[in-house]
Structure 1
Amino acid sequence: MARFEGFDAGVAGWFVGLENDNSREYFTAHRAYYESAVRGQLTALLDDLRDEFGGETKVFRQHRDVRFAADKSPYKTQTYGVLSGSSLSPTGFYLGVSADGLTAGGGYWRMARDQLERYRAAVDADLEKRIAASGLEQWGETLATAPRGYARDHPQIDALRRKSVTLGRRRPVDGGIGADEGRAFVAGTWRATVPVLEWLATHVGASTTA
């Protein structure tokens, strides 16, 4: 198993090139760099963190599934993976790299109907305090207005409008990211999500619908 050595200064440029020329020709011509400096280093970073957090890692394919998509671009413009099964987060942690930078986080992405019902019934000031204390950004879709059955002036209306509860942070990759800095950034971000993930595990849990 290779150890994480960092992301070099060419990573952001590789993704910019893919965004500008999302073709098999570009990807094939630059595949060796992708395999070693992009996917290879992301995989190594996840494996390093597995030693600390436990669980199992997975890096997703760079190819997009375009069978039912209007956009037929063949490649994703980010490389990403997850660490799942950690005792700190049964739902898993996210890690990705793109032209925008190195992104780490966790949470419940696009909650199922039953999860949303439990989430909205449980939303309270404690959740908001945990999110604020994390110091992380919140990501994900929100409703344009209050969900059905909830007043627009509800004290937790911003939280109630959310369809996802995901949070994390991004560190620019321009100029490269050293090994120690990268590991510390991701590990610190993941640990900051844990109080929110604990709330979600207690009050929402996994979907029970097919």
Structure 2
Amino acid sequence: MNFERLFDFLETLNKNNKKEWMDEHRSLYENVKTDYVKWLEDLDLKLSKIDEDYYSSSGKKAINRINNNLLYHPNKPTYKDHFGAGLDKRPKTGDFYIHLGIDDIFVAGGFYNPKSEILKSIREAIDYNGDEFKDIINSKPFQKNFGGLMQDEDQLKTAPKGFSQDHKHIDLLRLKSFAAMKSFERKDVLAEDFKDRVIETYKAMLPFRRYLNKAVTV
């Protein structure tokens, strides 16, 4: 996978963020996308050998559209400044997300601002067995890779409905997002071992994602 070409394409697109430019350079976009899809499919195969419950998907299904949704966000540019892809993407669960952007490069997973019914299920799981969840996020592998949960600036200032203010896990119950993220630099992506590092990140995040996915499916 030629990630240098992928970043070059994103930078050029960002400077010419118009449909007319994309139409003229569609073949370049398709070539870059095809290479990345193949890379994702090989990663998907490797990850499927790690977790027996892994939900495999093709690279074409994993990769996100590069077009911004202008219907709901009319002020955004026509095209994104990154390639996003979600693997292990079982319906109604949190996926394993890879973000390769001009400025931001990271791997993440869990639930970021989930719908109310999903958030309710996660809170119920924490109420029932929050000690297990805290053990996961406080474990050395999790802390080493992610440093804790992603910051949730939108968390509640008081207890959510149905929970006591003095609940032993009130710090978690107030959260509206349950996600973890590991950042990378461009030099990391260009290195030969980048795929191996993504796989190690997947392994480190697996107990965290398993807990959350069980919470919303059981």
Output the TM-score relative to the length of structure 1.
Answer: 0.76
Aligned partners of 2:156, 2:115: CA distance in 1, in Å?
18
Aligned-residue Cα RMSD (Å) equals 2.9
Aligned partners of 1:103, 1:196: CA distance in 2, in Å?
17
Deviation at 1:47, TM superposition (A): 0.7
> Is the Cα contact below 8 Å between 2:188 and 2:194 reproduced in 1?
no
Match of 1:139 in 2: 150
Which amino acid counterpart does residue 49 of structure 1 have in structure 2?
L
Per-residue CA shift, 1:67-118, capped at 9, x if unaligned?
A: 23231421112211122357xxx64321221013432222123322222222
> Is the Cα contact below 8 Å between 1:106 and 1:166 reproduced in 2?
yes
Match of 1:199 in 2: 211
Listed as ranges, the gaps of 5+ residues in structure 2 are: 49-55
Deviation at 1:196, TM superposition (A): 0.9
Per-residue CA shift, 1:10-61, capped at 9, x if unaligned?
A: 5445434444543235545665554444x33432221111211231132121
Aligned partners of 1:12, 1:152: CA distance in 2, in Å?
48
> Is the Cα contact below 8 Å between 1:119 and 1:203 reproduced in 2?
yes
Aligned partners of 1:139, 1:27: CA distance in 2, in Å?
34
User: Percent identity of the aligned residues?
Assistant: 21
Aligned partners of 1:140, 1:186: CA distance in 2, in Å?
21
> Is the Cα contact below 8 Å between 2:7 and 2:101 reproduced in 1?
yes
Matches within 5 A, 1:108-187: 108-123=111-126, 124-133=130-139, 134-135=142-143, 136=146, 138-139=149-150, 141=152, 142-146=154-158, 147-152=160-165, 154-174=167-187, 177-178=190-191, 180-187=192-199
Deviates more, 1:60-69 or 1:167-176: 167-176
CA shift in 2, pair 1:117/1:33, >3 Å: same
CA shift in 2, pair 1:183/1:43, >3 Å: same
CA shift in 2, pair 1:129/1:175, >3 Å: closer
Aligned partners of 2:166, 2:44: CA distance in 1, in Å?
43
> Is the Cα contact below 8 Å between 2:112 and 2:178 reproduced in 1?
yes
Aligned partners of 1:84, 1:56: CA distance in 2, in Å?
7
User: Is residue 2:71 matched to residue 1:53?
Assistant: no
> Is the Cα contact below 8 Å between 1:6 and 1:176 reproduced in 2?
no
User: Is residue 2:98 matched to residue 1:95?
Assistant: yes
Which amino acid counterpart does residue 10 of structure 2 have in structure 1?
F
State how many pairs are aligned.
Answer: 196
Secondary structure at the counterpart of residue 217 of structure 2: coil
Output the TM-score relative to the length of structure 2.
Answer: 0.73
**Greater relative CO (CA pairs within 8 A, separation 6+):** 1
Secondary structure at the counterpart of residue 46 of structure 2: helix
CA shift in 2, pair 1:158/1:50, >3 Å: same
CA shift in 2, pair 1:175/1:203, >3 Å: closer
